[in-house]
Amino acid sequence: MEAGRRMSLWQETWDAFNNPINDGWGQLVTHIELSLVSLAIAAAIGITLGVISAKVGKVASFLVIAVANLGRTVPEFAIMALVVALSSIGFWPAVVGLVALGIPPILLNVYTGIANVDRDVIGAARGMGMTAPQITARIEVPIAVPSLFVGLRVAAVQIVATAALAGLVGAGGLGVLVLSGLTTNQDPVLLAGAIPIALLAMSAQLIFVAGQRLATPRGLRLERADLSEQKG
């Protein structure tokens, strides 16, 4: 940088992002990869456990829920540190940490979604001759979909944000820029990492809010509208 010709901070940040040394684009792709893979695995595990714990006996479900709730209280940083301590550094250890982070909100929301299905609806369905698997597939899961999307949204935002720490464990991602910006005291580099992370988190939020609207059966949307009208 020449004295007397200061570029704007925005310009400097943009340049830092594009600088091959920082490889902003490459790290962005890695960041998204990390997040998507982790979210997908967390969703698969969280949905399965959520459905199971809503269907099995009270004691078992209580245990799963208690563990999941406990999991939410452990700080993100601690989880990542723990994973590295127990395994090694790299892409997959980071994924393990992020998955552990993503499971609780998904599991808990799927569980509540199913547990809150009107008992009378289930009772009527049984009385008409639906089997237990049919009740789960045709009633409980569709009705729990909006709740599932809430879980996915919370998990996605959390994963995207926490994936920044993956830079610490050698998994790459935008966290690398933040880290090097911090250590070398270069604000533009730091921002070249931090701003995309924030934008990614906001996009995840928007995508899942939209997804929730699209995936909510029309009948349930009407029901909600009905309820809010009564309250208002």
Partner 1 sequence: MVVLPGNANRGHVRHDAGRLELQGVTKRYPGSDRPAVDDLSLIVEAGQVCVLVGPSGCGKTTALRMINRLIEPSAGDILLDGESTRNRNAASLRREIGYVIQQVGLLPHQTIAKNVATVPRLVGWRRGETKARVAEMLELVGLDPAEYANRYPAQLSGGQQQRVGLARALASDPPLMLMDEPFSAVDPITRERLQNDFLRLHRTVPKTVVFVSHDIDEAVKMADRIAVMRDGRLVQYARPAELLASPADDFVADFVGADRALKGLSLTRIEEIELDDAPLVEAGAPSSDVLDRIASGLLVPVDGDLLVTVEGRPRAWMSVERVTDGDEVPRGPVGSPGPIVDRLATLRDALSALLDANARTGAVVDAEGRCVGLVSVDHIQGSWNAQSESAMAPHG
Are 34 and 98 in contact, with CB atoms under 8 Å apart? yes
User: What DSSP character marks residue 6?
Assistant: P
Contacts of 100 (CB under 8 A, 6+ apart): 71, 79, 83
Closest to partner 1 by CB, 138 vs 213, is 138
Segment 11 to 40, residues that bind partner 1, using CB under 8 A: none
Distance separating alpha carbons of residues 227 and 130, to the nearest angstrom: 28
Q: What is the largest CA-CA distance in the chain?
A: 82
Rounded-to-integer distance, Cα 154 and Cα 173, Å? 20
Q: Does 6 bind partner 1 (CB under 8 A)?
A: no
Q: Which is nearer to partner 1, 199 or 226 (CB)?
A: 226
Looking at 10, 131, 202, 213, which residue binds partner 1 (CB under 8 A)?
Answer: 131
Minimum CB separation from partner 1 for residue 59, in Å?
19
The answer to whether residue 202 forms part of the interface with partner 1 (CB under 8 A) is no
DSSP single-letter state for residue 139: I
Draw the binding track, 134-153, toward partner 1 (x: CB under 8 A; -: no contact). x---xx--xx----------
Rule CB under 8 A: choose which of 9, 60, 66, 121 binds partner 1.
121
Stretch that binds partner 1, among 57-65, 93-101, 163-171, 223-231 (CB under 8 A): 223-231
Alpha-carbon gap, residue 136 to 151, rounded angstroms: 19
* Burial (Cβ within 10 Å: 0-12, 13-18, ≥19) of residue 31: buried
Q: Which of 41, 130, 182, 198 binds partner 1 (CB under 8 A)?
A: 130
**Interface contacts to partner 1, rule CB under 8 A:** 118, 120-131, 134, 138-139, 142-143, 217-220, 222-223, 225-226
